[in-house]
C-alpha cells in the first residue's frame, strides 16, 4: 500500500514542508512519485517516519537521526553501533523524564500550598501567604 503526501500530512501529524525537508536531507530517502509526479510513501517509509518522529520528539538531533539511518543502511555490520545509539538516547530521555518528574513534584507541592491556604487568603484580607519560605502579604 502507498500513501499520498496529503494523506500523510493529514493522518501522521507532520507538515508537507517537513516531509520535503527530510527527503532533501536524506533522512527519509527514496520517495517514489506517481504518474503525475506527486510523492507517494510506502508502508516501510511510514514506519520509518514514525520512528524519526519518535526520536525527534524525544530530543535526538536530526544529525544523529541521519547518522542512525546511514548506519542502518550499512546493514548488520553496524548493529551494535545502532543499538548503542538507541541505548544512549534512552538514557538521555530517562534523565529528562526524571528531571521533569522532579519539577512536577515541585509544582504539585506549590499547588498543595495554595490549597491549604486558600480559605484563609480569600476570607482574610490581611493573611500572610507562606510558600517555600517566602511570606507575601495578600492585598485585596
Could you report the per-residue pLDDT of 100-132, keeping only the tens digit for each?
999 999 999 989 888 888 887 777 767 676 666
Considering the domain architecture, whether residues 6 and 69 belong to the same structural domain is answered as: yes
Q: How far is CA 100 from CA 60, 80, 93, 94, 103, in A?
A: 17, 30, 10, 10, 5
How far, in Å, CA of 119 to CA of 138, rounded? Answer: 12
Q: Taking all residues of the chain, what is their mean pLDDT, rounded to a whole number?
A: 90
Contact 46, 12 (CB under 8 A): yes
What value does the mean pLDDT take over residues 66-75?
96
Residue 79 within any structural domain of the chain: no
Report the alpha-carbon distance of residue 135 to residue 140 in Å, rounded.
Answer: 16
Indicate whether 13 belongs to any domain.
Answer: yes
- What are the tens digits of pLDDT across the range 39-68? 999 999 999 999 999 999 999 999 999 999
* Residue 132 located in a structural domain: yes
Alpha helices, H only, 43-78: 43-57, 62-73
Q: Tens of pLDDT along 18-41?
A: 999 999 999 998 999 999 999 999
- 62 and 6 assigned to the same domain: yes
Give the pLDDT confidence score for residue 129 in this predicted structure.
65
Q: Tell me whether residue 116 is in a domain.
A: yes
Q: What is the pTM of this model?
A: 0.76
Residue 97 lies in a domain: no
Q: Which domain holds residue 54?
A: 2-73
Residue 94 lies in a domain: no
Cell of 42: 510506502
- The whole-number pLDDT of residue 131 equals 63
Q: How many domains does the chain have?
A: 2
pLDDT score for 115: 86
Tell whether 91 is covered by a domain.
no
Look at residue 81 and tell me if it is in a domain: no
Chain centroid to CA 128: how far?
A: 41
The answer to whether residues 67 and 113 belong to one domain is no
Amino acid at each position: 500500500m502507498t500513501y499520498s503526501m496529503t494523506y500523510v500530512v493529514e493522518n501522521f501529524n507532520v507538515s508537507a514542508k517537513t516531509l520535503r525537508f527530510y527527503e532533501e536531507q536524506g533522512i527519509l530517502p527514496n520517495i517514489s512519485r506517481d504518474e503525475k509526479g506527486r510523492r507517494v510513501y510506502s508502508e516501510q517509509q511510514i514506519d520509518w517516519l514514525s520512528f524519526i518522529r519518535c526520536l525527534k520528539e524525544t530530543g535526538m538531533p536530526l544529525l544523529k537521526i541521519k547518522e542512525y539511518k546511514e548506519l542502518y543502511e550499512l546493514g548488520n555490520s553496524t548493529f551494535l553501533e545502532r543499538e548503542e545509539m538507541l541505548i544512549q538516547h534512552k538514557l538521555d530521555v530517562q534523565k529528562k523524564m526524571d528531571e521533569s518528574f522532579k519539577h512536577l513534584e515541585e509544582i504539585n507541592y506549590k499547588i498543595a500550598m495554595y490549597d491549604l491556604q486558600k480559605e484563609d487568603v480569600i476570607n482574610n484580607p490581611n493573611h500572610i501567604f507562606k510558600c517555600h519560605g517566602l511570606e507575601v502579604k495578600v492585598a485585596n
